[in-house]
Structures are given as structure tokens and as C-alpha cells.
């Protein structure tokens, strides 16, 4: 969907954080996106009408049970899970990576090798490295100079001892997309499993766990236009096998065995509302239309993410073009003809200007961007950058515009 047909201005009006008097050009979406009005209303209504514990027999408590079941079904549709019970809710993606990694550590046998990458967010690296204390042997799937992971480089790392391949679907720093289906095929061919960090890809493209043929996937709601929360998807049979901490009264089956303690119900209600918003976007795609219920929630979300993906490629091209004009050093895929292999998240540096100076200049002009190591210190070292200063990151979402990119370009031109 081109910029002319994508309803960006209509969608922007749904995000109160983009239209307040103090609003700025928000280009820090990789750290957490803004939320639409329906999400805010869902959280507000939950806190007013259903701010009670689930599991009771009275109407408000029963309403919480229903809201959680609805959210589980919504997220299952969003990721194309086979059944809602494959979705577990919690605080964030990192806590779920740790939950699964600890369980895997307890199941190590002759398959004691874990493969990680130097492209990933540290949450999907350090959690697995910690298993070395439990006897795991860590092997590395190296990133190439263009900032991507290639399955040709995974093949020689795999062996009959491989237990798990842990990798990102999309880099939260460089925006590069991994061919995870090809990686899953290779992992499964040697009897291993694959664990995907989909946190950064969530707001940018279609998540389909069946098409990916992955075994586990984590995501964070606050990247997908929802409040702060996280969720885990896992193959039902894989989740059944995982050892986990649970209280005695919790059955040893998903999703309860993976949801230790009480999670934040109002934020889970907000997650369901965020998926409702995406479904609305999908029904607004030209040539589709129709009221809710005519098409499935999965079909609506799929249409939304396909349209968002196409529009964001236009944003990527505009961003890369602007950065080249400003003589920026772009890390990772910098060619406009390769935007199909990235999302509109770019790390760069300007010659002779510190990353902090760039972000401060942008902040003074009302533009929110970020500098630092982006929670990927190993990646920064691979790029030859000091972890302490890192790079500048600009991360766009579907409510951003080419005109906003031009505003940032004017600031960079002044400081470069």
C-alpha cells in the first residue's frame, strides 16, 4: 500500500500521544510504541469496572476471566497459534526467555549445545549464556558485515548435539530481518528446536508461528501499541514438556504453568484492544472493508500488517535517502533496493559528531530519537563501536510520515 493510499493521517488521529500540545515527532518506537484510543479506554474500563482478582464467582471476577480468555484468543489469532492455550501472559519478553531457558537448562542431556547470535538483543543472549553454569555449551551464529543473519552460516554450527537455536526475527538495532523459516528447517533437520525473539518485528509485519515453523516465540505488547506486558507462544506439546515453577494448585499444563503469580490484567485487556485496532486497520485496506465478523480476526490482522509493511518500506527508503544526504554512516542494510529485508529502524552515526550530541539536537527540535548500545553490546562491538556511546537509532512505526523524516533531516543537516 503506497503512501498515497495508506490512511496514515486517519490512523494518527487514533493516537492521543501524537496529538497533545506537548507531542513531538516520535521516532523512538523501538523502545515502545504509542497506544491508540481504544487501548486507553480498555485499560480505563478494566480499572473502573473489573479491578478485581480472577477466579471468583461474582460478576466482576467472572468478567476478568472472560477478558483474559478473550485476550488469549486475540493474541492466538494475531500470531496464528493452533490453540489459545499456547499463549501465556506475563511481565515482558525477557522474563519469558528466562523461563524457557531455565527449563531447557534442566533438560540438557547429550543435546547440550545452544546456538545464539551476535545480532540479538542481550535478553536473547545472556539468558542462554547463563546455562553454561548448567553444563550447556554455547555456539555462535555470526552476523555478516551487512548486519544480517544467513542460514548458510548457521549450517556449519548445527550438529547432533544442538538443543536450541535462539535468534531474533528482526534486529532491534539494525532493523534487519532473519529468514527464520529457513533457520527452523535446518534446526529441525538435526532434531533441535528454535526460539524466536519477535519483539521488534511485532509492529512491522505478519507473525505466523505456523509458517515460521518455530517452537517458541516471545513478544512484548508495548511494542505493538499496547501497554507494558509480554507474551509467550509455544507449541503445545513443547510447553507440556517444559519444567516450570508453579504453585501446587496450578495444573502442570499450559498456559497456567507458565504464568507464575498475578500478571497485570488491565494491560492484557489493553493488548486485546490493540489487536482490535489492528483488525480495524485491516478492514480499512482498500478492497476489503466490511464490518467486524464478516472476516476473521486473523485475516484482518494479516491484512493490516501486510499494508503496514508496504507503507513502512516507503518510510525506510525516505529515511535511508535522507541519511545518505547527511553523510551518515549507516550500520546494516543501507541500500534502498533492500528495504524488503529490513524494517524502518536504522542505527547510524554522523562523522565527527557524538551520538549523544545528535539526539540532544533532535530533542531540542522536538524529535525523539535514541543513542547508546540499544541493549545489544555485542553487536556494537562487532560494528567497531564503543559500547558506552554506541550509535544513534531512529525507529519508525506506521503512524510516522515522510514529512517527519524530512524534519529530522533538517536537524541532522545542521549538526553534521
CATH of the domain at 82: 3.40.640.10
Sign of CA dihedral 157, 159, 161, 164: positive
- In angstroms, rounded to a whole number, what is the distance separating the alpha carbons of residues 235 and 254? 10
pLDDT digits (tens, 9 = 90+) for 285-304: 877 666 666 679 999 999 99
| 193: number of Cβ within 10 Å | 21
| 388 inside domain | yes
Each residue's pLDDT, cut to its tens digit, for the chain (416 residues) gives: 555 689 999 999 999 999 876 778 999 999 999 999 999 999 999 999 999 999 999 999 999 999 999 999 999 999 999 999 999 999 999 999 999 999 999 999 999 999 999 999 999 999 999 999 999 999 999 999 999 999 999 999 999 999 999 999 999 999 999 999 999 999 999 999 999 999 999 999 999 999 999 999 999 999 999 999 999 999 999 999 999 988 888 889 999 999 988 999 999 999 999 999 999 999 998 776 666 666 799 999 999 999 999 999 999 999 999 999 999 999 999 999 999 999 999 999 999 999 999 999 999 999 999 999 999 999 999 999 999 999 999 999 999 999 999 999 999 999 98
pTM (2 decimals)?
0.96
What is the domain range of residue 373?
8-35+306-415
* Domain co-membership, 206 together with 344: no
* Domain co-membership, 18 together with 71: no
* Domain co-membership, 222 together with 329: no
Angle between helices 59-79 and 37-49 (to 10 degrees): 150
Asked whether the beta carbons of 196 and 217 are under 8 A apart, the reply is yes
* Domain co-membership, 190 together with 94: yes
pLDDT digits (tens, 9 = 90+) for 65-119: 999 999 999 999 999 999 999 999 999 999 999 999 999 999 999 999 999 999 9
* Domain co-membership, 73 together with 199: yes
Asked whether the beta carbons of 196 and 187 are under 8 A apart, the reply is no
Helices (H), 256-296: 265-283
* Domain co-membership, 195 together with 214: yes
Amino acid at each position: 500500500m503506497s503512501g498515497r493510499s495508506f490512511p496514515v493521517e486517519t490512523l494518527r488521529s487514533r493516537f492521543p500521544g501524537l496529538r497533545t500540545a506537548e507531542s513531538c515527532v516520535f521516532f523512538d518506537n523501538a523502545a515502545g510504541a504509542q497506544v491508540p484510543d481504544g487501548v486507553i479506554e480498555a485499560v480505563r474500563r478494566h480499572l473502573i469496572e473489573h479491578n478485581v482478582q480472577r477466579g471468583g464467582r461474582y460478576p466482576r471476577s467472572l468478567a476478568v476471566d472472560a477478558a483474559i480468555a478473550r485476550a488469549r484468543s486475540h493474541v492466538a489469532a494475531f500470531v496464528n497459534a493452533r490453540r489459545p492455550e499456547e499463549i501465556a501472559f506475563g511481565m515482558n519478553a525477557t522474563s519469558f526467555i528466562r523461563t524457557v531457558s531455565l527449563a531447557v537448562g534442566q533438560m540438557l542431556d547429550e543435546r547440550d549445545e545452544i546456538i545464539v547470535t551476535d545480532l540479538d538483543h542481550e535478553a536473547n543472549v545472556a539468558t542462554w549464556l547463563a546455562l553454561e553454569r548448567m553444563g550447556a555449551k554455547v555456539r555462535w551464529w555470526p552476523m555478516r558485515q551487512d548486519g544480517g543473519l544467513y542460514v548458510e552460516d548457521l549450517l556449519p554450527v548445527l550438529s547432533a548435539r544442538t538443543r536450541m537455536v535462539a535468534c531474533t526475527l528482526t534486529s532491534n538495532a539494525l532493523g534487519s530481518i532473519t529468514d527464520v523459516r529457513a533457520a527452523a528447517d535446518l534446526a529441525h533437520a538435526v532434531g533441535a528446536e528454535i526460539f524466536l525473539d519477535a519483539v521488534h518485528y511485532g509492529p512491522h509485519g505478519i507473525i505466523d508461528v505456523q509458517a515460521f515453523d518455530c517452537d517458541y516465540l516471545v513478544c512484548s505488547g508495548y511494542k505493538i501499541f499496547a501497554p507494558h506486558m509480554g507474551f509467550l507462544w509455544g507449541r503445545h506439546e513443547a510447553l507440556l514438556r517444559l519444567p516450570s515453577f508453579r504453585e501446587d494448585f496450578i495444573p502442570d499444563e499450559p498456559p497456567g504453568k507458565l504464568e507464575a503469580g498475578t500478571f497485570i490484567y488491565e494491560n492484557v485487556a489493553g493488548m486485546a484492544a490493540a489487536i482490535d485496532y489492528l483488525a480495524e486497520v485491516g478492514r480499512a485496506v482498500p478492497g476489503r472493508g466490511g464490518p467486524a465478523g464478516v472476516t476473521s480476526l486473523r485475516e484482518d490482522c494479516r491484512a493490516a500488517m501486510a499494508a503496514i509493511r508496504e507503507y513502512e518500506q516507503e518510510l525506510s527508503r525516505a529515511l535511508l535517502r535522507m541519511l545518505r544526504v547527511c553523510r551518515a554512516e549507516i550500520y546494516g542494510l543501507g541500500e534502498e533496493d533492500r528495504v524488503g529485508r529490513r524494517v524502518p529502524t536504522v542505527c547510524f552515526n554522523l562523522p565527527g559528531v557524538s551520538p549523544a550530541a545528535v539526539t540532544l539536537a533532535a530533542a531540542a527540535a522536538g524529535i525523539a530519537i535514541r543513542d547508546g548500545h540499544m541493549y545489544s553490546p555485542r553487536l556494537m562491538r562487532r560494528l567497531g563501536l564503543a559500547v558506552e556511546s554506541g550509535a544513534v537509532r531512529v525507529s519508525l512505526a506506521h503512524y510516522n510520515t515522510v514529512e517527519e523524516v524530512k524534519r529530522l533531516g533538517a536537524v541532522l543537516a545542521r549538526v553534521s
